[in-house]
Amino acid sequence: MDESGKARRRFLGSAVALALTAAANRSMSAASRRDVFRWGSSSLGSSGYVIMEAFSQTVNRHTPYRSSSQATAGTAENMYLIGSGKLEFAHSTSVDWAAALAGQRPYKRPVRANQLFAYAVWQQAPIVQADSGIRCFRHLAGRRFSPSQPGSGTAAMYNVLMNAAGLHDRIRWRYGSWSEVYTAFRANQIDSVVGVLTNGQPSSGIRQLEANTDLKVLGIPARVLERARSANPGILEDQLGPGQWAVLSAPVRVPMMTGIVAVSTDISPEVGYEVTKSILDRAAEVRQFGSHLSGLTPELAVRHLMATAPVNAGAARYFREKGLWRSDLTIAQ
């Protein structure tokens, strides 16, 4: 072979080697991006923050995947970030899904996302100071009311509830973190806040309020809840009694929402299965992270999924293997 032929072979060999190296680097880069998952939580110290941190750490311990949890402004932001590819997993509530999937306010376009599993229920009752003169839900007209952060699931729920009651434009909305609004409530700078119970147990913030303030719980009228649920099926109904909450002297009707892991549609069934299995097979271990996870079981995880939103195929496989799958649920394609 002449020198020009040899040179040409050396050139082609080098080009092929460079191409293979570049392809390998692209493959490694894609794998790295795929195996480091971002979990969106909520504001620092909130129940959503604690829960997502627990899930992220569990995945790191028991799967080959790497995860990191990051604080966000709340579940509305999380759904937006999931839809725009900036998160792979996130804290969400049943209230967020109807608006997100339909592209309704606060979303500018429909969000593509799947459910993984449910992990908690939150009863969300409006509370006032016992001597405030506010005797029922409708007496909140003209009063200062706070559902915490504007991007939270609680705020989304109460926007719908206040519309259903004809109160949305008649109350004075106030916003802030849970610690901020509870502090303002104690100082009479806010007339009513939302008392949050996780799995039927009052939050630490509510316990602190009880220690210093006489509280009154406002029940939600049945017709208001019915209208709200027609507008957003993620708003559920529950009843709280004195046995669950010492503040009560009689049962009251309250709105409830469930916590659901929202997952990117880019997450494969294989990853969805391993992540779901790593957490739910170790539910007892995960519950040790705190009272916010006291209700976590494989049974609750599928019971409180929404029939109106698709479920990651890997999570569906897990529930089928456990004999827990619900026939009314839809598997993501």
**Sign of the dihedral defined by the CA atoms of residues 204, 217, 293, 159, in that order:** negative
Q: Does residue 143 sit in the same domain as residue 205?
A: yes
Residue labelled with tokens 């092929």:
16
Residue 29 is predicted with a pLDDT of 33
Separation of alpha carbons 194 and 181, rounded Å? 9
Residue 291 lies in a domain: yes
Q: Do the Cβ atoms of 223 and 200 come closer than 8 Å?
A: no
Asked if pLDDT for residue 18 goes beyond 70, the answer is no
Whether residue 248 sits in one domain with residue 146: yes
Point out the domain boundary residue: 236, 257, 278: 257
CB-count exposure of residue 26 (10 Å: 0-12, 13-18, 19+): exposed
Residues 154 and 232 in one domain: yes
* 232 and 266, same domain (yes or no): no
Across residues 103-109, what is the average pLDDT? Answer: 90
Whether 241 and 289 share a structural domain: no
Q: What confidence score (pLDDT) does residue 73 get? A: 86
- My answer on whether 82 and 128 are in the same domain is no
Which domain-ending residue is among 235, 257, 279? 257
The 10s digit of each residue's pLDDT in 118-160 is 999 999 999 999 999 999 999 999 999 999 988 888 999 999 9
pTM, full prediction: 0.83
Indicate whether 126 and 243 sit together in one domain: yes
Q: Both 235 and 127 in a single domain?
A: yes
Range(s) of the domain holding residue 302: 37-119+258-331
List the one residue out of 118, 43, 112 whose CA is nearest residue 74.
43
Last residue of a domain, one of 257, 289, 323: 257
Cα torsion angle, 91, 256, 136, 247, sign:
negative
pLDDT tens for residues 278-300?
999 999 999 999 888 999 999 99
In a domain, 161, yes or no: yes
What does the pLDDT read at residue 43? Answer: 82
Q: Average pLDDT, stretch 266-279?
A: 98
Q: Say what the pLDDT of residue 32 is.
A: 36
Same domain, 58 and 140: no
> How high is the mean pLDDT of the chain?
89
SS3 4: helix
Region 307-320: mean pLDDT is 97
Q: Is the pLDDT assigned to residue 20 strictly greater than 50?
A: no
- State whether 134 and 234 are in the same domain: yes
The 10s digit of each residue's pLDDT in 207-264 is 999 998 999 999 999 999 999 999 999 999 999 999 989 999 999 999 999 999 999 9
Identify the CATH number of the domain in which residue 188 sits.
3.40.190.10
Amino acid at 98: A
Whether residue 146 sits in one domain with residue 158:
yes
